Amino acid sequence: KKSEAWSALFSEPMSELVKRYTASVFFDKRLWQADIQGSLAHADMLAAQGIIGADDLAAIERGMAQIRQEIESGAFEWKLDLEDVHLNIEARLTQLVGDAGKRLHTGRSRNDQVATDVRLWLRGEIDLVVGLLGDLQRALLALAEKNADVILPGFTHLQVAQPVSFGHHMLAYVEMFSRDAERMQDARKRVNRLPLGAAALAGTSYPLDRARVAATLDMGGVCQNSLDAVSDRDFAIEFTSAATLAMVHISRFSEELVLWMSQAFGFIDIADRFCTGSSIMPQKKNPDVPELARGKTGRVVGHLMGLITLMKGQPLAYNKDNQEDKEPLFDTVDTLKDTLRIFAEMVGGITVKREAMERAARRGYATATDLADYLVKKGLPFRDAHEVVAHAVKTAIGQGVDLSELPLEALRQFNPQIGEDVYEVLSLRGSLNARNILGGTAPEQVRLQIGRHRARLG
């Protein structure tokens, strides 16, 4: 039909340029399953309400079954002339079953149809993303458990601060990814509401049973305002925002992996299968995966900005602007899923170089705070203890040794209350074990947290 004019109202066919410009079928065809699912639920309700006949419903179901098969087998012919996924499927349906196909769109508009399709599709993708976030968390837990006793210099300002358990460091990311999953599940509640019944913008005069359609589609409720239902894409923005945060967490982790694998740190190795070489420098092994993930985070941040900007100037109700929601949303989903999948695998290919980490911790006077705390326990006010230890560190730096390598007499010159027991306090292990508080880095706490996370993830 559309290779001709749109309707009798039009006196000339659409320009070829405009056809290309307005068509979305080459990207929105990915919504085909949701489109068929939504149409079947709508048709079932139309028949139950006596708006179409039982024979029409049967014909629609038969036609859709064939279309499904054609799309799956690749036989379906997608036509640019038919603009989008909705018109392509509807036209084929009518070709296959005649008038029943023409009755499907009763009480419906592409405006509420597309909003429904995107929501149905996104709901399924959210479930996949939550599953992948779970896989990544499980992989991090395994790495954390294996390295609960490995000591990593903890940093602030990227300067050595205090010793932490490598497992504890991994658990920080588990916390982040668990919040990402929570955010996804929360957004899902608002994604999972039904626009159908809003029609073009004002609702419809047909006696539709919207609750029935929502129930058929396993949606949590119906959108309560027709103008809002067809026009807002905040649900997609919310998802993209949650996806952006997840990518930002991946990106922070990536940055650390890249640093840690550099020769200057030498803290970890990443299995060869996740790295690439250089076409000119034979010695190179590059952490391309985390670098790319860091880069792709920028892309997802861009999609979030794109979607928000897409929304901000739109008057109610539906505007064609909204067709532009799809590519950023689809690419966000693809990028996030691919990244989570590869990270869950790559984490299992991380080798921890415990000596290098411990050496770096010692070189950075990571237990200086422990010495200050030791003096506080002997009765010194903390600020005085802080100053005493600063002098001790200065001396140790001057001699090129660790605090724990200064003899007792030397340490006593800074404060006479220092005793033989200071050496346990100055050891990395002693420092680690001392932080045995909920949320702290002591290996005992790390193991408790691993247990808690495992129970949570089931």
- Interacting residue ranges for ligand ARG, rule: CB under 6 A: 24, 28, 84, 110-111, 114, 320, 322-323
Which H or E element spans position 159?
Answer: strand 159-165
| Cβ(170)–Cβ(144) below 8 Å | yes
> Beta strand pairing status for 193-194 and 221-222?
parallel
Nearer to ligand ARG, 312 or 320 (CB): 320
| Cβ(403)–Cβ(365) below 8 Å | yes
Helix (H, G, I), strand (E, B) or coil at 164: strand
Pairwise CA distance, residues 316 & 183, whole Å: 28
Name the minimum Å distance from CB 61 to ligand ARG: 24
Report how far apart, in Å, the C-alpha atoms of 119 and of each of 91, 326, 415 are.
23, 11, 68
Name the minimum Å distance from CB 27 to ligand ARG: 9
Nearer to ligand ARG, 72 or 321 (CB): 321
Provide the annotated active-site residues: 157, 278
Pairwise CA distance, residues 181 & 14, whole Å: 45
Which residue in 355, 356, 362 sits closest to 263, CA to CA? 356
Nearer to ligand ARG, 1 or 452 (CB): 1
| Cβ(304)–Cβ(237) below 8 Å | yes
Nearer to ligand ARG, 90 or 238 (CB): 90
| Cβ(258)–Cβ(291) below 8 Å | yes
Chain centroid, CA 50 distance in Å: 44
Name the minimum Å distance from CB 2 to ligand ARG: 12
Pairwise CA distance, residues 22 & 81, whole Å: 10
Nearer to ligand ARG, 120 or 184 (CB): 120
Place of tokens 């056809």: 19
Query: Which stretches within 49-109 are classed as H helix?
Result: 54-73, 85-97, 99-103
Name the minimum Å distance from CB 236 to ligand ARG: 12
Nearer to ligand ARG, 29 or 146 (CB): 29
Nearer to ligand ARG, 320 or 394 (CB): 320
Euclidean distance between the first and the last CA atom of the chain, given in angstroms as a whole number? 54
Name the minimum Å distance from CB 179 to ligand ARG: 32
Which residue in 388, 432, 426 sits closest to 407, CA to CA? 426
Which H or E element spans position 153?
Answer: strand 151-156
Output the six-digit token pair for 367: 């237990």
Nearer to ligand ARG, 148 or 310 (CB): 310
Q: What is the DSSP string of 273-338?
A: GG-B--SS-TT--B-HHHHHHHHHHHHHHHHHHHHHHHHHTPPSS--GGGGGGHHHHHHHHHHHHH
